[in-house]
Amino acid sequence: MSLLLLLALAATPHPWESLSAAERRAKLEKLSHEELETMLRETPPAALLRLSEKTIAALGPYEYLMVKQERVRGTLLPEQTIRTTIRESPSAIRLDFLKGPGAGRRVIYNASVKTAEFKVREAGFLAFLPVWLPLDSPMAKSDSNRTVVEAGLGTLVRRLAREQGRAEGSVTITHEGWRGKDEFCSVYALPDGGRGFDHARTRVCVNPRAGVPTLVEGFDDRGTMLERYAFSGVKAVTPGPATFDPEKGL
């Protein structure tokens, strides 16, 4: 298949993109594992990412548990479990650190209040003194390579879509198949050993019926893991008045 044809297929709207999130979910529920796998293998990644973005947008404000692990300045840090609450637009993010380094930390970013800063309250003896920090301050990135505004499944899906787009059809896809009964995993190898991209290889596992990613792992060209994000319990929520309030919510 020619590169031009692959690009054309990626840009062509998937038939399910015209359906509502509820309609897509109802149709997916009726498919067997074998039919779901066929759909995932035959649908271009760009179309799958667009479908996932539409599903996430349809949630409105949403929440999930994230277990993340990153290699920061060459060191693989311990896992952190974070309850993540997101409002896609206008952008607002709440992070409650539950386990691992930083447990007890609470973070709120609200673009309606400040676009270039977030507020954080640490646990322990520092809890009495919440502080504003610039998004890219060294303190803010002491245990992560990414900024607060990169949190959220919608942001993640859009980042993956940009990487796919920049690769211009040169991505090599290996479908690994089912991991358990609800997750289908594929590995995307970027051209030129990932030079100029976030990763050389990215493993993405999705729950096709829910329409959201469940695991994203990034590796360098030697196979060293750079970052790992596992997502569970994705659900729509109704934020309280203080959820995204940097003054009252910490």
Are the C-beta atoms of residues 183 and 206 closer than 8 Å to each other?
yes
The pLDDT-based confidence of 8 (bands split at 50, 70, 90) is very low
pLDDT for position 100: 96
pLDDT for position 205: 95
pLDDT for position 194: 82
Range name among 27-36, 56-65, 114-123, 237-246 with the lowest pLDDT average: 27-36
User: Does residue 187 register a pLDDT over 50?
Assistant: yes
- Compute the distance between CA of residue 83 and CA of residue 74 in angstroms, rounded to an integer: 26
User: Does residue 3 register a pLDDT over 60?
Assistant: no
Q: Helices marked H in the chain — which ranges? A: 3-11, 21-29, 33-42, 45-59, 153-167
User: Does residue 248 register a pLDDT over 70?
Assistant: yes
pLDDT for position 152: 93
Are the C-beta atoms of residues 218 and 51 closer than 8 Å to each other?
no
Question: Integer distance in angstroms from the first to the last C-alpha of the chain?
Answer: 54
230-249 b/e with 16+ CB inside 10 Å = b? bbeebeeeebeeebbbbeeb
The pLDDT-based confidence of 14 (bands split at 50, 70, 90) is low
The pLDDT-based confidence of 5 (bands split at 50, 70, 90) is very low
**Contacts of the segment 38-44: beta carbons below 8 A, 24+ positions apart:** 39/208, 40/175, 40/184, 40/186, 40/206, 40/208, 41/175, 43/14, 44/6, 44/9, 44/10, 44/12
Residue 133: beta bridge partners? 118
Using one digit for the tens of pLDDT, what is the confidence trace for 44-98?
A: 888 888 888 989 999 999 999 999 999 999 999 999 999 999 999 999 999 999 9
The mean per-residue pLDDT over the stretch 178-192 comes to 90
- Compute the distance between CA of residue 84 and CA of residue 151 in angstroms, rounded to an integer: 8
User: Does residue 240 register a pLDDT over 60?
Assistant: yes
Q: What number of CA atoms fall less than 13 Å from residue 137's CA on the CB side?
A: 12
Give the type of residue at 88: E
Residues in the chain: 250
Q: Is the peptide bond before 90 cis (omega within 30 degrees of 0)?
A: yes
When the pLDDT of each residue in the chain is averaged and rounded to a whole number, the result is 87
Residue 235: beta bridge partners? 63
Q: CA dihedral defined by 108, 161, 186, 193, rounded to 10 degrees? A: -100
pLDDT for position 16: 62
Are the C-beta atoms of residues 79 and 55 closer than 8 Å to each other?
no
pLDDT for position 10: 46
Give the type of residue at 103: A
Residue 174: beta bridge partners? 187
User: Does residue 217 register a pLDDT over 60?
Assistant: yes
